[in-house]
């Protein structure tokens, strides 16, 4: 039957297969104040195709959606409910090299989290200010001659 399959594919053309979405977890920061807000967001997201589970933590203002969904579509659906939403901007405190840098520390972050920042945007320790302070440190043997 190999020849028959070959000719049927040849005459039908190439079939395009849909690309299957991967199972993923989408985390969003959503402004929710009451049970009604929480229920409204949960119902909106649960009605989406491909959603397996929805978890909401009102204390952290966090929505976690697991399923065969795209993050941008989930974000758009939540914003359609009238709530302020964004992709979860925080990472656990232990994963950041400089948790108290000005760009990463956020007073509004939940306990144990800091803001997610690219390492390239952190200040460079080899700037001229850092070099000047190295001149006058105790480790510099020639520091007294400069003064």
Kindly report, residue by residue over 54-103, the tens digit of the pLDDT: 999 999 999 999 999 999 999 999 999 999 999 988 888 788 777 777 77
- The answer to whether the CB of 92 falls within 8 A of the CB of 77 is no
Answer with the residue of higher pLDDT: 35 or 15: 35
- The answer to whether the CB of 114 falls within 8 A of the CB of 106 is yes
Share of the chain above pLDDT 70, in %: 68
What is the Cα–Cα distance from 34 to 39, expressed in whole angstroms? Answer: 9
Both tokens assigned to 60: 């952290």
Helix H segments across the chain? 2-12, 35-46, 71-79, 128-135, 143-146
What is the Cα–Cα distance from 88 to 115, expressed in whole angstroms? Answer: 9
pLDDT of residue 52 exceeding 70, the answer is yes
Average pLDDT over residues 126-131: 55
Which of 32-41, 67-76, 85-94, 120-129 has the weakest average pLDDT? 120-129
What is the Cα–Cα distance from 25 to 71, expressed in whole angstroms? Answer: 8
Both tokens assigned to 140: 């510099």
What is the Cα–Cα distance from 111 to 19, expressed in whole angstroms? Answer: 39
- Per-residue confidence (pLDDT) for residue 45, from 0 to 100: 95
Q: Measured on CA atoms in the order 81, 84, 88, 91, is the torsion positive or negative?
A: negative
pLDDT of residue 23 exceeding 80, the answer is yes
CB proximity list for 135: less than 8 A, separation 6 or greater: 143, 146
- Per-residue confidence (pLDDT) for residue 21, from 0 to 100: 75
Answer with the residue of higher pLDDT: 3 or 112: 112
What is the Cα–Cα distance from 129 to 19, expressed in whole angstroms? Answer: 52
Instruction: Show the beta-strand stretches assigned E in 58-133.
Output: 62-67, 85-87, 90-92, 113-115
């Amino acid at each position: 039957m190999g020849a028959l399959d070959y000719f049927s594919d040849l005459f039908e053309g190439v079939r395009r297969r849909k690309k299957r979405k991967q199972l993923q977890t989408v985390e969003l920061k959503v402004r929710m104040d009451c049970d009604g807000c929480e229920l409204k967001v949960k119902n909106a997201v649960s009605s989406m195709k491909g959603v397996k589970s929805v978890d909401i933590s009102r204390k952290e203002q966090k929505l976690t959606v697991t399923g065969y969904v795209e993050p941008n579509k989930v974000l758009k659906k939540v914003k359609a409910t009238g709530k302020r939403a964004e992709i979860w901007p925080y990472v656990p405190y232990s994963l950041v090299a400089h948790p108290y840098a000005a760009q990463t520390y956020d007073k509004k972050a939940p306990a144990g989290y800091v803001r997610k920042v690219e390492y390239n945007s952190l200040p460079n320790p080899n700037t001229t200010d850092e070099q000047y302070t190295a001149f006058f440190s105790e480790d510099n043997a020639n520091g007294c001659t400069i003064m």
